[in-house]
A and B are shown apart, each in its own frame.
Chain A
């Protein structure tokens, strides 16, 4: 069953067509990767799902909901979580606080019960904390729990962003270049984590990545884009040997 459906979506920024009549669908339980040269419109595909922009035409369906009819904050409530290419963490808060924001969509208390910190608010906080600790253990973040984000090295921030997304308990996880800027070892870790996220947690993953090793290692299907349009869609091997893809990359290189 397809979890996410992108149908004939077009988005223009002034004269620039960032996404051009793009269609694809992501099946439940798979790891789906998007590749393409810089400026191909990959991040824009994510931003459209997050409802930061309104597409010019087309439709985006998630799990039976029409995403284009809801506001940006409702997307998370359906079970979509994401990371950002240029890390968007809450800088002046601790790792723990960052992850707890991820629990926001499970909030059951209201203003009054929180200000009075009633037993129900307390219970909720403890539940949140238990869930967060599972994620901290999963991603080996124990040492950073009470550290401020502003003092953390880049590699750790990338992991914290993944952790925060997982804290929402999503159905679909969007990862925008999870391995960019990471060392070889960190990239290997990331690769196993993505595998586990899919296998153990049963979360569908849609990711943008430049590292072809990582892409062919973890993904079931790959979409190659250039100038906002689809070039090829298939298994990693198929896409890598597709003439249009080879040309797009070589064309960029020369």
Chain B
């Protein structure tokens, strides 16, 4: 019973990691760049929503604030691409890595200026409610996190692998020049993907802030989400979710059953092991580069 409780809370955490990882993967698939600021995007999404809903700030009704903040996050993602990333077309991956890390610094700084450095929680309609299930007590927030994440991942997966538009976008990422010749508006696709990643980060942020508290350094959670994305194999959306769940579940179990001091190492040790033995993730086949 105890283990089941651990499992559920691990899954809920894992979903948040999975959502951030989803953002990484979206952008990686489309632009072959990694957005190291994705975790900070999430933190920002949380704060934007807090700023709109919480009574000490604007105090809008939750269900009104929700679409507004997702819209803001989408616009932000689009602007980041439009104003910054797009200029790096053709530069090395390293340049983008460093740039997005720097962007993370700036976002953290800005969030601290606007909302302060105290941990805050999102006031939301689900707060404090729970579901009892035999002996199990499930927080409504946890349930919401799991449901929303699964639906979102499924939706994105269907979009990218089944719809015409989604497939065209995949094409754009795999070979930009060829896609360009085929009439796919490569740049617009890229902007759309960044906007989408912003929205996903916003959703992750809202769920996270509903479950626990956020402060400007919360975005550093992104490192764990990286582990998730890598474990899942950087190119696959369901893989990202699976990776997130693995990391999320390992954490509570490790801290329960492994000596303190060693337990927090678990996700990173797993990450290193995966990188060493299966550099392209647990769920992918290795292929060679074409010269």
Contact = CB atoms under 8 A, between A and B. Distances in A.
Interface string B265-291: 000000000000000000000001001
Interface in B143-182: none
Contacts of B288: 52-53
B45 to A, nearest CB: 38
Nearest to B289: A52
A84 interface: yes
A84 B291 CA distance: 8
Contacts of A88: 291
A90 to B, nearest CB: 14
Nearest to A43: B291
A175 to B, nearest CB: 15
Interface residues of A, number: 7
A52 B290 CA distance: 9
Nearest to A88: B291
A47 interface: yes
B91 to A, nearest CB: 12
A81 to B, nearest CB: 16
Interface string A18-47: 000000000000000000000000010001
A56 B64 CA distance: 62
A40 B291 CA distance: 15
B113 to A, nearest CB: 38
Contacts of A52: 288, 291
A52 B288 CA distance: 9
A43 B290 CA distance: 11
A87 to B, nearest CB: 12
A47 B289 CA distance: 12
A111 B108 CA distance: 44
Contacts of A84: 291
B288 to A, nearest CB: 7
A84 B288 CA distance: 18
B94 to A, nearest CB: 13
A172 B6 CA distance: 66
A53 B288 CA distance: 9
Contacts of A53: 288
Contacts of B291: 43, 47, 52, 84, 86, 88
Interface in A79-101: 84, 86, 88
A88 B291 CA distance: 9
A53 B291 CA distance: 10
Nearest to A86: B291
Contacts of A86: 291
B35 to A, nearest CB: 25
B85 to A, nearest CB: 22
Nearest to B288: A53
A153 to B, nearest CB: 18
A86 B288 CA distance: 18
A88 B288 CA distance: 17
B291 to A, nearest CB: 6
Contacts of A47: 291
B114 to A, nearest CB: 41
A47 B290 CA distance: 10
A52 B289 CA distance: 9
A49 to B, nearest CB: 12
A172 B121 CA distance: 70
Nearest to A53: B288
A248 B291 CA distance: 25
Interface string B30-47: 000000000000000000
Interface in A45-76: 47, 52-53
Nearest to A176: B291
B200 to A, nearest CB: 32
B174 to A, nearest CB: 15
A52 B291 CA distance: 9
B95 to A, nearest CB: 13
Nearest to B290: A13
B290 to A, nearest CB: 9
B281 to A, nearest CB: 19
A86 B291 CA distance: 8
A-B pairs, 6 with minimum CB distance: A47-B291, A52-B291, A84-B291, A53-B288, A43-B291, A88-B291
8 contacts: A43-B291, A47-B291, A52-B288, A52-B291, A53-B288, A84-B291, A86-B291, A88-B291
Given A43-B291, A84-B291, 4 more contacts: A52-B291, A53-B288, A86-B291, A88-B291
